[in-house]
Each structure stands twice: as structure tokens, then as C-alpha cells.
Amino acid sequence: MSITAETAKAHAHDPAVLCCRAEGGITIEPANLEDPAIFDDLVDSGLLNLDGCLTIEEVLGAKLLKTCDSLCPLTADVVEGAKAPSAPAEAAPAEEEVKEAVPAPVAAPAAGGILKIHIGEGKDIDLEIPVGALGGGGAAVAEVPQTAVASVAAPAEEAKEEKVVRTLTRKHFNITEVKRGPETKIEGTTLYIREGIEAEVIDNQELVKDFHLEIITPDLYHTYSETIMDVQPIATKEGDDDIGTGVTRVLDGVVMMLTGVDEGGVQIGEFGSSEGYLDENIMWGRPGCPDKGEIFIKGNIVVQEKTNMERRGPMAAHTAFDIITQEIREVMKKLDDSLVTETQELKQVRRPGKKKVVIVKEIMGQGAMHDNFILPVEPVGVLGARANVDLGNVPVCVSPLEVLDGCIHALTCIGPASKEMSRHYWREPLVLEALHDEEVDLCGVVFVGSPQINAEKFYVSKRVGHTVEMMDADGAFVTTEGFGNNHIDFASHIEQIGMRGIPVVGMSYCAVQGALVVGNKYMQYMVDNNKSESGIENEVLGCNTLCPEDAVRAIAMLKTAMAGEDVKAAERKWNPNVKSTNVELIEAAYDRKIALEENEQSLPMSQKRKEKYD
């Protein structure tokens, strides 16, 4: 396909190749040339050889000496009157330097457009390289922050005072033992759960047919378990406090864990299997996962036959399981303050004058367990919450403290390695990092569901665009969990925000299996949440979810983008080295050490991984 004068200018330093047959003697115009975005694929497949090919700026206006066929690279011997290249001599050495200095995580395919590289360190050379891969299906494009981000701090000329909008106090109570007893109570550091509470769980929901409660202590970690549907903190509000403000009481050392099957023994959410031995299938310490040493109050719910794939099945399971959590919450409300082991104050700080950023979190909304309860009365509760599917998956704006106070009760049962469980939001690393970063002003968090149907996807992403526009944000993060058709709206959210001139950093698990299905020219800044060794959905709970290290990379990248610096294009195929280089760059620029998360290699090696994946 021929290109326009504008495209030709943008691709001035790219190879000049005829898009269709051209007669000898013509003057070469943009309309004679092919879009360089497609060259990578052609070169890869051996259909095109660019050796000795002149650049677009060199051939424009020159005369074609002989008739050539389509896709013929224009070399010096077929062109007369080629111009001299504009930024030649210096460019060569510079480019090498860039390569070394390159940072960049992520695999996002099909990000077309232009990539400008600015080489910092006072060298002052600008390179423009096509991102390529336009329309290339599974090809991976990764990108990253490039230069030191310190420069972003500059615009803070009119440094105004920080403003604390509201605070949230977390009172921690330590639990070291969980037992069954005649009543639910907490004595010292021992939590007792009433015997016979199972009957109430079963009676609560018509669809719940059976229920078993297990207490998993660290010595029982090597226990076989059904697929984990959710991991939840046990927390409650003091008095009439609303989520996201006031005081929250939380139990340390213990988490709620939900699993479920239907009466026929079929797992709820049949696909993502993290069933197997707990210690081999949980990525300890991920924001959404249990930490090593914690006790699990694990409930296995049996729902009515064949409702495991219907929306009401998982909903009933989560609602019924909350009976137990709620009973513990009631007990916690009465606990004496003398048992508080730690008090933590979370502040929602606005920093007027700093770059205003917003976090858009795409959550699943295709139906059934691909759903989330938003804003319950109690942290990660059920009562009072609305399912985002019922809300039409439209954007819902919440405060960062509401996120950290459990405003999302996740029903999500997508692939285990990339699912964000309820606990993930309680410890959401990007929200925490952005809230604490003194160089940015986090104005809020927008949750948007991912509907099943494309028309609805674009409906909600347009709302996201307008929402962010009216915030007057200087930059945005768009994150998503899982992979699949949600990447269509993920790309669309980024486009809707990007087309308003707001730089957007996209975060998702991509790597190999989660390579994006679509792309657009605004997807220049991408961070890959992958941690698995081979870049795959490795069936280990929480392995590829957003972690503090990803949050740091994303913020560094957004600052770079907001400062007008450019980020180098990713390579065509997923390359984990891009991430490590970026991490090194950020460490050097900020003079801080970034702790990298472990991956599945740190777990006891199960046969399955040994043979299948590594």
C-alpha cells in the first residue's frame, strides 16, 4: 500500500521500497513507496532483502532509472539523483549506544507508528525508527523508559503544598492460631471459629448444597486443593466508617481462601487449574496471594449441579462464604485496642502542581466468575456491593484508599497466574507506589469492566476516555488482569486516552502466551507483568500479576513519557532482557534498589513444571 507524504516524512530514515510496479523514468513520490511498518515480517520470511537499500528521504524526488516490480528495494543502481542522508555519520555510533542503554519491558504487538529515540546524557541526537509490526498479529513489541527520569521533577516550579484529602487507619491484630470452638471469638492471638457454622453457610444460599471448612496451617501446605477461587483479607470497619476512610481492623497471619465445585464434582470455573498441592501452586507473597507462614481458613463450597458455569453459581459461593468472614468481622469489632500490634496510617495525598496521573484498572466483566463486587460495606465483603456486570461494566471512579480498603471483592477465576484476587487490591502495588511518589499527583482510580461483546467494549472504553479527559490528567496507567479478549478493550482504553494527548502506560501480562491481539499507535509505553521463566501462563497462582517491581517500572516509564522523553520500541519477540535492562536503568537513575520478585522456579519443583515447561 502506498504511503502519504506525512508517513514518508515520519519514516524518512527507513528503507525505500516500491509499493507497486513503477515505470522507468518517473520521479519517485511517497505514493510509489511501501509502508515500512510491514518490512520486518517480509524480511523475516525472506521475501525482502534490504541490503544496500536507500532511505525514503534519499529517494524522494529522485528519478527511477528502470522499470521495477512491486516490493523492489530501491538501491543506488536503480535511482538517479538521490539526496544525501540527513543524519548519517553521527547516527551510526549513537545507535549502538542506544541499544545498550535500552530499557523496556513488555510484549505488545502491533503498535504502529513512529518511535523517536532521544539519547540523553547530553549527546543530543535524535533518532527515529519505525516501530514496525503494524498489523503483525502475534509479534511482540516491547517498550521502555529510556533516559533518567529525574528530569520530570522540573515542572514543579510552583511547588504547592501537599494536601491530605483523607486518611485511612489500619489496625492490625495478630493471629497465630485458628481453632474450632463453641463460638466464634478471638482470645489473645487465637481465632476460634464456631463449630456448626457450616450449616448456616449452606442454608444461606439455595444453590449451596454442601460446605467444608479446613484450617490450613503451614505444616499442612502440602495438601491437595481444588482450584483456588479467591484469597481475601479478613478486615472490618470500625463503627459506621465507610470503605476508604476512618479505621479498618485487619487480622494478620490469616487469610480466607475459597474453593468450589458443583455437585457433580466439577470445579467452579473449570478452566484455570491451580488444583494440586498448595505449596507447589501458590506464588507466595504476591499481592493477591497468601504469604508463607499464614494460616488459611479454607472453605470448599459445593454448588448445585451444573451451576458451576452459570453466573449464579460462583456468586452464591462467594456470598455464602462471606457468612463466615462476617461472623469473624463482628467479633473483630469488639476486640480491645490493647490487642493491636501495629497501627498504620494510609494517607490520600494530593500534590497540586505535580503531574496529575490516574490509574485505570480494567477488571473482568464477561460474566459468571469473570465479575467483581464493587464497594461492599465491609472490606472485601458482599453486602452493599454491586457487581460490575450489573453496572454495565461502565467506569466507576474510586479513591486510592477505597482500593486499598477492599472496595473490590473479586469473583475472578481467570487463569491462575494472572488473576487479581481480592487481596491483590488490598495491597495493590501501583496504587501504593503512585500514592507515595512525591513527583506525581495521583488523582484517583477508575475501575472499568471488560464486557464480552466488542460493541460493549468500545462503549465502555469511550466512557473511559471522557472520564480521563475531564480529570485533566497529565498521564494515565491502564492495567488489566488475565489475557484474551480483554486485551481488545485494554488497547481501546489506551487509544481513547492517548488520542486526547495524554501519555498512557499499559500494564498487562503479555510475554509469550498473552501477546496482545490488537494494538494502536498510542500503545508506545507498555510494561509486561510477566515473571514466569518461559513467559507463559504457568498455572501458579498469582505468578504473573502486577507486583511492586512492575509498578516502579510503570511509574518511571510514565514520568519519562510525560516529560516528553521517548521510549524505545520493544523488540518484535518477547525478550525478558528488556525488563532487566530497564530495571538497571531505573536503579541507576533513581539510586534505589528494586527488589525483583521470585518466580515459579523458587517453588518446590513439581513434576509437571519440570517436564512441561522448563
**Window 470 to 499, contacts with another protein (CB under 8 A):** 482, 484-486, 488
Q: Which is nearer to another protein, 312 or 350 (CB)?
A: 312
Look up residue 595 and give its three cell numbers.
527488589
Cα–Cα distance for residue pair 406/425, rounded to 1 Å: 6
384 counts as binding another protein under rule CB under 8 A: no
570 counts as binding another protein under rule CB under 8 A: no
Q: Are 378 and 235 in contact (CB under 8 A)?
A: yes
Cα–Cα distance for residue pair 347/323, rounded to 1 Å: 31
List 512, 548, 594, 597, residue binding another protein (CB under 8 A)? 512
CB of 457 to another protein, least distance (A): 10
416 counts as binding another protein under rule CB under 8 A: no
Instruction: Count CA atoms closer than 13 A to 490's CA, side-chain side.
Output: 32
Q: Which stretch binds another protein (CB under 8 A): 60-68, 97-105, 160-168, 528-536?
A: 528-536
What phi and psi, each to the nearest 5 degrees, are found at residue 308?
-65, -25
210 strand-pairing partners: 302
604 counts as binding another protein under rule CB under 8 A: no
Q: Residue 603 belongs to what H/E stretch?
A: none
612 counts as binding another protein under rule CB under 8 A: yes
List 12, 87, 266, 594, residue binding another protein (CB under 8 A)? 266
CB of 205 to another protein, least distance (A): 17
List 17, 369, 541, 585, residue binding another protein (CB under 8 A)? 369
- Catalytic residue, candidates 289, 413, 443, 510: 413
Q: Which stretch binds another protein (CB under 8 A): 77-85, 197-205, 256-264, 462-470?
A: 256-264
CB of 567 to another protein, least distance (A): 25
214 counts as binding another protein under rule CB under 8 A: no
Q: Which residue, among 497, 12, 65, 600, has the nearest Cα to 286 in the 3D structure?
A: 600
Q: Which residue, among 21, 17, 5, 2, has the nearest Cα to 51 in the 3D structure?
A: 17
State the chain's maximal CA–CA distance in angstroms. Answer: 97
579 counts as binding another protein under rule CB under 8 A: no
Q: Are 600 and 540 in contact (CB under 8 A)?
A: yes
Residues whose CB is less than 8 angstroms from the CB of residue 218 and which lie 6 or more positions away in sequence, other chains included: 292, 293, 294, 295
368 counts as binding another protein under rule CB under 8 A: yes
Q: Which is nearer to another protein, 454 or 580 (CB)?
A: 454
Residues whose CB is less than 8 angstroms from the CB of residue 266 and which lie 6 or more positions away in sequence, other chains included: 308
Q: Which is nearer to another protein, 96 or 611 (CB)?
A: 611
CB of 389 to another protein, least distance (A): 9
Q: Which is nearer to another protein, 57 or 280 (CB)?
A: 280
CB of 611 to another protein, least distance (A): 5
Cα–Cα distance for residue pair 275/296, rounded to 1 Å: 16
Within 241-311, where are the H helices? 278-281
Residue with cell 520500541: 569
Cα–Cα distance for residue pair 126/116, rounded to 1 Å: 7
Q: Which is nearer to another protein, 7 or 227 (CB)?
A: 227
Q: Which is nearer to another protein, 364 or 543 (CB)?
A: 364
279 counts as binding another protein under rule CB under 8 A: no
List 161, 182, 219, 607, residue binding another protein (CB under 8 A)? 607
Instruction: Count CA atoms closer than 13 A to 192's CA, side-chain side.
Output: 12
410 counts as binding another protein under rule CB under 8 A: no
Cα–Cα distance for residue pair 489/395, rounded to 1 Å: 12
List 536, 552, 561, 603, residue binding another protein (CB under 8 A)? 536
Instruction: Count CA atoms closer than 13 A to 148's CA, side-chain side.
Output: 13
Q: Assign 3-class secondary structure to 36-97.
A: HHHHHHHHHCCCCCCCCECEHHHHCCCEECCCECCCCECEHHHEECCCCCCCCCCHHHHHHH
CB of 102 to another protein, least distance (A): 21
CB of 310 to another protein, least distance (A): 5
Other C-beta atoms within 10 Å of 517: how many?
A: 17
Look up residue 524 and give its three cell numbers.
508506545
Q: Which is nearer to another protein, 56 or 413 (CB)?
A: 413
146 counts as binding another protein under rule CB under 8 A: no
Taking phi over 0 as left and psi of -120 to 50 as alpha, with beta for the rest, 171 belongs to beta
Look up residue 273 and give its three cell numbers.
487449574
449 counts as binding another protein under rule CB under 8 A: no
461 counts as binding another protein under rule CB under 8 A: no
List 61, 81, 218, 264, residue binding another protein (CB under 8 A)? 264
Look up residue 135 and give its three cell numbers.
498489523
Q: Which is nearer to another protein, 188 or 265 (CB)?
A: 265
Q: Where are the beta strands (DSSP E) in 351-429?
A: 355-364, 372-374, 386-387, 396-398, 408-410
29 counts as binding another protein under rule CB under 8 A: no
CB of 1 to another protein, least distance (A): 23
Q: Which is nearer to another protein, 124 or 390 (CB)?
A: 390
265 counts as binding another protein under rule CB under 8 A: yes
Cα–Cα distance for residue pair 559/148, rounded to 1 Å: 10
CB of 265 to another protein, least distance (A): 3
List 162, 263, 279, 598, residue binding another protein (CB under 8 A)? 263
CB of 424 to another protein, least distance (A): 18
CA distances from 89 to 22, 86, 92 (A): 31, 9, 6
Residue with cell 476486640: 335
Q: Return the amino acid letter for 55.
A: T
Residues whose CB is less than 8 angstroms from the CB of residue 336 and which lie 6 or more positions away in sequence, other chains included: none
CB of 219 to another protein, least distance (A): 21
Q: Which stretch binds another protein (CB under 8 A): 183-191, 342-350, 589-597, 605-613?
A: 605-613
Cα–Cα distance for residue pair 57/12, rounded to 1 Å: 5
476 strand-pairing partners: 358, 504
List 174, 189, 204, 606, residue binding another protein (CB under 8 A)? 606
List 146, 184, 319, 366, residue binding another protein (CB under 8 A)? 366
List 25, 212, 271, 345, residue binding another protein (CB under 8 A)? 271
45 counts as binding another protein under rule CB under 8 A: no
Annotated active-site residue 413? The verdict is yes
Q: Which stretch binds another protein (CB under 8 A): 16-24, 263-271, 336-344, 556-564?
A: 263-271
Catalytic residue positions, numbered: 413
The residues of the shown chain that bind another protein, judged by CB under 8 A, are 224, 261, 263-266, 269-273, 275-276, 302, 305, 309-311, 364, 366-370, 413-414, 450, 452-455, 482, 484-486, 488, 512, 517, 534-536, 606-608, 611-613
